Structure 1
Amino acid sequence: MAKILGILALVLFLAIPAGLLLAGQAGLLKGHRPTDLGLHDGLLKPPVQESWNVVSSHARLQPHTDYHVIAPISYNGDGKAALVKLTGIVRNMDGVTVVTSEPTYLYAEFQTRLLKFVDDVEFVLDEPAGVIQMRSASRLGRKDFDANRNRLEAIRARFNG
């Protein structure tokens, strides 16, 4: 019995984590780049109500739970200059690849170091409202343990700091 428990412990504490790490390093946990990002009818992609791995400043206008809602980034002055400032902040973050950078839209991918999970992050300039709308979503899984919210709040803090 002790031998069986030892083997189970070995598998549980060594083999499974090692397998996950190898899968991540091989790129098997990054998912596929979405083809439906950007603005649709003036809004960023809505959150999936059953998943807690996405936050969006447009969620309040779409079917959502309270978890999905995050405030946009407010700015003063020139909106395009604000988005340029935001783009600079995003470009200097760890694990980022900027995919699309336009005068009114920014799309970046953030990849975790060990397991290589990828999150898709979007920002869109909303000049009439004086804000930058934002969305961050994990490609895989249903929970992100607040990683997307924390990332956007860190970006907000750097923008306002």
Structure 2
Amino acid sequence: MLIFWCVLFLFVAYLLILGINWMSEPAARPGAIDGRLAPCPDSPNCVCSQDQDEQHQIAPLKYTGATAEARQHLLEVLQQQRGCRIVAQEDDYLRAEFRSLVFGFVDDVEFLFDPGQNVIQVRSASRIGHSDLGVNRKRIETIRVLFAREAHATPEQ
């Protein structure tokens, strides 16, 4: 009987976690304002190439060639990522949602193209929780490696 109640409790807890994740909204207002992505909050579950503090800072993606080609290649890279869904596309901006496999935790990932510098500014942030165990940083670094496999991208950080 104890096993039944434990399983029932875990099942209800799992459903609650899924519900909270699926209904959650981005912590910061997505999008770029005056050519900048939103800064990271104080929590360690966010990275942003336009953030200056060491905990949150990450290098932007670099490319050579036409911005349109870099944008298309980035879209191809994102479409290959498990749990990724593109939710916004504008001229110089992309936003994707990444959902974790088990609990469906949502991370918002933003890309802002700066053709004058030939870089793509990046921001990846968890919607809920405090720590992400480095998932957002690893995600951007994985995207960087995959993006750099084409001739118009540069791999250095």
Give the structure with higher Rg (CA).
Answer: 1
Alignment partner, residue 16 of structure 2: 23
Alpha-carbon distance between aligned partners in 1 of 2:121 and 2:10, rounded to the nearest angstrom: 37
SS at 1:59 equivalent: coil
Alignment partner, residue 79 of structure 2: 91
1:40 corresponds to which of 6, 22, 33:
33
SS at 1:157 equivalent: helix
Identity across the alignment (%): 36
Alignment partner, residue 53 of structure 1: 45
Q: Which runs of 5+ in 1 are unaligned?
A: 1-6
Tell me whether 1:101 sits opposite 2:93 in the alignment: no
Alignment partner, residue 154 of structure 2: none
- When normalised by structure 2's length, the TM-score is 0.83
Greater share of helix residues, 1 or 2? 1
Tell me whether 1:70 sits opposite 2:58 in the alignment: yes
Alpha-carbon distance between aligned partners in 1 of 2:57 and 2:49, rounded to the nearest angstrom: 6
Q: Write the deviation string for residues 83-133 of structure 1: whole angstroms up to 9, x where unpaired.
A: 111011112211111101233111010011111110000001111111110
What root-mean-square deviation, in Å, do the aligned CA atoms of Structure 1 and Structure 2 show? 2.0
- When normalised by structure 1's length, the TM-score is 0.81
Shift, 1:23, TM fit: 2.2
Alpha-carbon distance between aligned partners in 2 of 1:17 and 1:152, rounded to the nearest angstrom: 32
Amino acid at match of 1:40: I
Q: Which runs of 5+ in 2 are unaligned?
A: 150-157
Amino acid at match of 2:37: L
Amino acid at match of 1:157: V
1:150 corresponds to which of 113, 116, 138:
138
Tell me whether 1:79 sits opposite 2:60 in the alignment: no
* Number of equivalenced pairs: 145
